[in-house]
Amino acid sequence: MCPFCSGELVYRDCKLRQLKDLIGEISCFLLRRLRCQGTCKTLHTELPDIIQPYKHYESGVIQAVIDGSADASTCHADDSTIRRWKNDFNKAEPDIAQRLASVYGLMTDEIVPIGDTRQILEPIKVKCEHWLAFVMKLLINSGHRLCTQFAFCPSKSPDTVSSVSKNDTERGKKDDATIKNSS
């Protein structure tokens, strides 16, 4: 079921994804891609818990760096990448906390007052060993579209952005038709 519009997901194809571990060794994963048949027509990639969206390192590696654990000292990533992960998380933490409060509110019909974001994330960090994977999975599966620093496009005029989107949509429909005709 699509997390955005609750439409049916149908297998489209798969793609190869490389992932680096703490010491820099690369593992390859073959990930299924599913097309939503509902209103959004979004293409979803199934990600295991060890893969963070838009990242090339394991979830546990990124979590160790954010937490500042002893494992982070052996991380093979560049210093600039490590600094970027920390800065990006610090910037995104209030938004993540608000989204978690939103999910909690939807599940329990209670309103969560948001003061300090640590009030929401710290209990999760303490109780859940793989808290980063847990939080991302919860937010993605509850319909929150997550973006990272790398996913943002440079600002353009709205006319340019909409025309690019229309072209990409038409090209995607042609690709889908080609796949259906070839099978």
pLDDT tens for each residue of 100-149: 888 888 888 777 766 666 678 888 888 999 999 998 888 887 877 665 44
What does the mean pLDDT of the chain come to? 77
Q: What is the DSSP string of 99-114?
A: HHHHHHHHHHS-----
- Evaluate if residue 81 carries a pLDDT over 80: yes
What pTM was computed for the model? 0.70
Contact 136, 52 (CB under 8 A): yes
- Evaluate if residue 15 carries a pLDDT over 90: yes
**Domain assignment present for 159:** no
Q: What are the start-end ranges of the E strands in the chain?
A: 9-20, 26-36, 43-45
Number of structural domains the chain divides into: 1
Nearest of 18, 2, 22 to residue 10 by alpha carbon: 2
- Evaluate if residue 31 carries a pLDDT over 90: yes
- Collect all residues with Cβ–Cβ distance below 8 Å to 110 and sequence separation of at least 6: 104
Instruction: Tell me which residue range forms the domain holding 75.
Output: 9-151
**Domain assignment present for 93:** yes
Compare 161 and 171 and report the one with higher pLDDT: 171
Nearest of 33, 52, 71, 51 to residue 147 by alpha carbon: 52
Q: Read off the DSSP letter of residue 49.
A: T
**Domain assignment present for 71:** yes
Nearest of 18, 41, 40, 20 to residue 31 by alpha carbon: 18
**Domain assignment present for 161:** no
The Cα–Cα gap between 120 and 68 comes to 19
**Domain assignment present for 82:** yes
Q: Per-residue pLDDT averaged across 2-17, rounded?
A: 90
Q: What pLDDT, on a 0 to 100 scale, did the predictor assign at position 17?
A: 93
**Domain assignment present for 2:** no
- Evaluate if residue 87 carries a pLDDT over 60: yes
